[in-house]
Structures are given as C-alpha cells and as structure tokens.
Amino acid sequence: MKLEVLYEDNHLIAVFKPANLLVQGDITGDVSLMDEVKTYIKEKYQKPGNIFLGLLHRLDRPVQGIVLFAKTSKGASRLSEQFRDHTIQKFYTAVVAGELPRTATLINWILKDENKNKVEVFDRETRGALRAELSFETIATNKKYSLVRVALKTGRPHQIRAQFSHIGHPLVGDTKYGGQKNSELLLAATQLIFTGATDNAQHEIKIDAPESFLKFVK
C-alpha cells in the first residue's frame, strides 16, 4: 500500500488508515498500519535496526481515518498523557440510519464482552461498565440516513457504533450492531486537535468526509 502521511514532525507522525487495515498486528498475522509506518520511517531516514513507533490510540479494523503515532519516547509520553486526560479533541464522521436531532449528547455505560468482541450499552451506571460520552451534530439528512459529525469525549471500545445503535440509529455497514449491510462501515476519524510534543502549540489534522459517505444523504 502507498502510505498517506497527513502530518509529521521530529516526534510525531499522523497517517491515513484505510478501512479494514489493522492498526497493530494481531494473531491473524495480517499486515498492519504500524508495519507500514515503520517501513516508511526506515526507508525515508535510512535507519538501520529496529524502529521505535509508539502506539497512541487505535481505530477498529473496519474504521478509516486519522491515526497518530509517536516517533520518539518523548512524543509517546507527552501525547499518551493527553489521550489519558482527554485533552485531545477527536472528531469522527459517520452515516447512521434514520433522522436525528440537529445536536445531542449521549451518555451511557459500556461493558465489553471480550469473547464476543462486542459491547453492551446501559442507560445507567452498571457494575464493570465504563462511562461513555459523545456529542454529535447532524450535517445532512434525507430522513432515511443522516451524516453526523461526532465529538468523542471518552474512548471506549466500539463506542460510537454501540451508542448510536442503542438509540435506534445504527451505522450503515455495521452489521455487528444492527446496521444494514454495506461494502464498508461508514465511520471515519476525520479530525484530531492536539498539543505538540515539544512546542506547546495546538495542531490540527483534518480530512474530508469520504465521498462514499456523502452519496447516502444526497
């Protein structure tokens, strides 16, 4: 694959993850985004031996969009702290079934079943479940489908997919959570705002919503 680099400095690199590519290698042995980024760094900077690459966050395998990695231990430490403290702003674009209000906030509790790799959503605090919060804005709708911009407040497993399904508006292509079949899951990480590892300046990485998403609300 041809790696699409969206941002790079001495400590960080952000790239575009295509749908259905693993962020990190697993038992399948399939090629991962981390593998591709390490190869890019090795070749660009002619580095011998092992390449350091810090995993800062993940996207589910079917999800496409922006992924940020650390090229140094300093970058890993400082950005990991921002992810832990939820000071990084993460925005997603999705297409969901039905018509939604213009804006709303969803607060639930999520419990993951590791064996099934699926989560259950609760409306009130539940033992073992983690608090999950997001807000969204409806960008366009034709009543059958809605294009939404999602601001993720917490980073729980399958959070966006499960919370929208819970309110009766599953994502298109998300058959795991009740969505209609489609050639792809219509969820993309489209914007990331963070503080640089060393300059204390605010950085923004943003990509457009995929064209395949827009056709559903035309």
For 58-81, b/e burial (b = at least 16 CB within 10 A) is ebbbbbbbbbbbbbbeebbebbee
CB 34 within 8 A of CB 48: no
Catalytic residue list contains 60: yes
Cα angle value 116/118/120 (rounded, 5°): 120
| CB-CB contact of 162 with 169 (8 Å) | no
Terminal CA-to-CA distance of the chain, rounded, Å? 31
Half-sphere exposure of 164 (CA within 13 A, CB side): 37
In 3D, which of 14, 16, 36 has the Cα closest to residue 25?
Answer: 36
For the chain, give percent helix, strand, coil, nearest 5: 20, 35, 45
Q: Which residues contact 6 (CB under 8 A, 6 or more apart)?
A: 14, 15, 16, 66, 205, 207
Nearest partner of 67 among 77, 79, 55, 75, judged by Cα: 55
Catalytic residue among 26, 30, 60, 208: 60
What amino acid positions are annotated as catalytic residues? 60
